[in-house]
Amino acid sequence: MSLPVVSVKAQNTPLSRVHCIILFAIQFAAIVLIGSQDISATNHYRTGDLWIYYQDSSRLLEGKMPYRDFALEYPPFALAAFTFPHFMLLGLNQTFYNYLWAFLLQSAIISTVTAWYVRRLAEKVRFGLSPDLSLIAYCSLVIVTAFYLPWRYDLFPALLTMLAFTALINRKPLGAGIWLGLGTTAKLYPIVLLPVFFLFCMVESRKSAGLKLVGGFGAALSFCLLPLAALSPTALLSFLKYHQMRGLEIESIPAGLILLAHAWGLTSASVVVNYGADHIVSASAPMLIRWLPLVFAALFGIVLWKAWSRFRNEGKAGQIESATLLTYTITALLAFIIANKVFSPQYLIWLLPFVPLLRPRPALSLLAVFALTTVIFPYNFSQLCSLAPGAICLVNLRNGILAFIFSVLVFRLPLVERLKAFLVSQ
């Protein structure tokens, strides 16, 4: 049985092909031009992770096996994003400097492909914005984040999750599962979308679609993991232990609350650099870390419950709105970000393909979150690490807006609408 019909033709008059090409070129140029300034200035705080990518991919090309012959702090399919820039050099010297340029170009290409999928999906399906505005919104987000966007590989798994979402919209659950599985073996976080996609497939007893989704996901995981597990079964999951040992990253929501209490003189806090990031040291940090899995379970449980209820109600009416699937795709990712002990700026890249498809109000609110993140990193990050009150307020403002957007999307604005009605009645 096929999935419920989710496609509704958009009625907006599209931009001319020339205007679309110009928008694609603008976001491409923003990445390359801003990124090139980083390379020429050798800003290591933006390109430091690239040295890890360069070393790991060079070892792989030397014939060494990850986890067995060299430590890898990422899932195995991340090596695809790390290694491809070497092939883009086309015989040039495989120096780190040349690798930076190739990686920058790769990021611009992946972003352009993502922009094309955003535009294509907005044309096919009615979401919150018109196809024109969706493309403009995507380009705006790229420009706002171009100061850190090219220097992390998160664009790669973000594109894979976009491909999974697109496949599900097109009633191809097997393909959705495969793309989602590849994304999970690249960055782990896409796994939180599997339950949402599965519930979508299971509406009105679409068991065959759900089985295809899970089967494709399992096949992709097996393809990427089993060969490495056979070579080094104990070391394969070492990257999980690496991240488990990390503390509260300074930009995370619980770290922001500790810093706020520190600024008010309610507790003491300091900053330590380890595991490639800045972490908060405080008496309350270990307790908060222990509680975070329960917080995530609660938030994610609410997302799944609301998603199931909405899918079922719309399925009974004969059609599941594609905007509903989009909403719970984003809220599942937000639940993972909000309840995470790490909130690196690149985590917002996970939302990049989906935000331009939202309704105008949440889309603009998330654009503000992206802009505030850029203000925090890189421009005020040294002040934050020095525990400056202004930078602490910026982090908590950004985190508070993100938490509010999560509640608005999950509950579909009931509190806001009721408040408006109450004020009008008075």
CA-CA distances (angstroms) from residue 230 to 68, 224, 226, 236, 272?
11, 11, 6, 9, 37
Quickly state the pLDDT bin for 178 (edges 50, 70, 90). Answer: very high
Does residue 222 carry a pLDDT above 90?
A: yes
Query: Exposed, middle or buried, 421 (CB in 10 Å: 0-12/13-18/19+)?
Result: exposed
Q: What is the SS3 string spanning 117-161?
A: HHHHHHHHCCCCCCHHHHHHHHHHHHHHHCCCHHHCCCHHHHHHH
Quickly state the pLDDT bin for 232 (edges 50, 70, 90). Answer: confident
Q: What is the pLDDT of residue 425?
A: 53
Give pLDDT tens digits for 90-131: 878 999 989 999 999 999 999 999 999 999 999 988 888 889
Does residue 426 carry a pLDDT above 70?
A: no
424 vs 426: CA distance, rounded Å: 5
Does residue 351 carry a pLDDT above 90?
A: yes
Cβ pair 213, 177 in contact under 8 A: yes
Domain assignments of the chain as residue spans, ordered by start: 17-425
Q: What is the pLDDT of residue 41?
A: 60
Min mean pLDDT across 41-55, 157-171, 197-211, 267-281 is at 41-55
Does residue 423 carry a pLDDT above 70?
A: no
Give pLDDT tens digits for 191-204: 999 999 999 999 86
Q: Is 272 left (phi over 0), alpha (psi -120 to 50) or beta?
A: beta
In the predicted model, what is the mean pLDDT of the chain? Answer: 89
Does residue 6 carry a pLDDT above 50?
A: no
Does residue 420 carry a pLDDT above 60?
A: no
Quickly state the pLDDT bin for 42 (edges 50, 70, 90). Answer: low
Give pLDDT tens digits for 283-330: 999 999 999 999 999 999 999 999 999 999 998 888 889 999 999 999
Percent of the chain's residues with pLDDT above 90: 74
Cβ pair 370, 144 in contact under 8 A: yes
